[in-house]
């Protein structure tokens, strides 16, 4: 089964999308089964608790997440928190995440919000029994040039995260969400 990398920023020049692409490249270099879901390419509705669940894009994304053995989330950090598109994605797809190991790639403007994913990670652990890979990649603006990651230590941390997610996936680190 494949690892799904989800790029959650809707910004056309997203740095977290650059992190997602770098993770995909690292996975392919190692011949890991991996795919990318870029939310910029999917027109998801805002979760309204009702009619939104019948939207075709929601069904497509939910099925894509259900098929994954593990998930790597690439998220921007805004105002010391994950981007709203990631929260919306979880609200739309909920149980599809159940029991899957999850890793995080985060792009932020500064160094002060490195724990921004923790409330979201806690929700994944408690609501959907997702084991959280305890190796996050957090990169501020200095790690990027125009279209790529230029900081070798960040590139190495991405490679380490990809390896760790694969290890968790192969060891069956996902749990029964029941």
pLDDT digits (tens, 9 = 90+) for 94-112: 999 999 999 999 999 877 7
Residues 22-45, mean pLDDT to the nearest whole number = 96
Query: Taking a C-beta distance cutoff of 8 angstroms, is the pair 112, 141 a contact?
Result: no
Cα–Cα dist 107/141, whole Å: 7
Q: Is the pTM value of this prediction over 0.85?
A: yes
Is residue 174's pLDDT more than 80?
no
- CATH number for the segment(s) 3-170: 3.40.50.360
Cα–Cα dist 63/149, whole Å: 30
The rounded mean pLDDT for the chain is: 93
Higher pLDDT, 19 or 112: 19
Segment 121-158, tens digit of pLDDT = 999 999 999 999 999 999 999 999 989 999 999 999 99
Is residue 89's pLDDT more than 90?
yes
Is residue 171's pLDDT more than 90?
no
Cα–Cα dist 70/82, whole Å: 19
Query: Taking a C-beta distance cutoff of 8 angstroms, is the pair 4, 64 a contact?
Result: yes
- 32 φ, ψ to 5°? -85, 145
Residues 28-32, mean pLDDT to the nearest whole number = 95
Angle at Cα 146 formed by Cα 163 and Cα 156, nearest 5°? 20
Residues 30-52, mean pLDDT to the nearest whole number = 96
Helix (H, G, I), strand (E, B) or coil at 77: strand
pLDDT of residue 110: 79
Is residue 173's pLDDT more than 80?
no
pLDDT of residue 175: 57
Return all residues near 167 (Cβ < 8 A) that are at least 6 apart: 173
pLDDT of residue 111: 79
- 10 φ, ψ to 5°? -100, 0
Every domain of the chain and the residues it spans: 3-170
Provide the pLDDT confidence category of residue 176 given band limits of 50, 70 and 90. low
Q: Which long-range contacts (CB under 8 A, 24 or more apart) does 17-21 make?
A: 17/74, 18/107, 18/144, 18/147, 18/148, 18/149, 19/74, 19/105, 19/106, 19/107, 19/137, 19/139, 19/149, 19/158, 20/72, 20/74, 20/105
């Amino acid at each position: 089964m494949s690892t799904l990398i989800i790029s959650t920023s809707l910004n056309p020049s997203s740095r977290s999308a650059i992190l997602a692409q770098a993770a995909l490249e690292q996975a392919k270099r190692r011949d890991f089964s991996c795919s990318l879901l870029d939310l910029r390419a999917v027109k998801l509705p805002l979760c309204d608790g009702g009619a939104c669940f019948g939207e075709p894009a929601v069904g497509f994304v939910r099925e894509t997440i259900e098929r994954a053995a593990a998930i790597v989330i690439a998220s921007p950090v805004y105002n010391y928190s994950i981007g709203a598109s990631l929260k919306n994605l979880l609200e739309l797809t909920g149980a599809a995440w159940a029991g899957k190991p999850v890793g995080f790639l985060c792009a932020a403007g500064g160094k002060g919000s490195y724990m921004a994913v923790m409330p979201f990670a806690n929700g994944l652990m408690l609501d959907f029994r997702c084991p959280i890979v305890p190796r996050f990649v957090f990169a501020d603006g200095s790690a990027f040039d125009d279209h790529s990651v230029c900081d070798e230590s960040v590139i190495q941390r991405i490679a380490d995260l990809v390896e760790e997610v694969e290890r968790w996936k192969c060891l069956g680190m996902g749990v029964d969400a029941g």
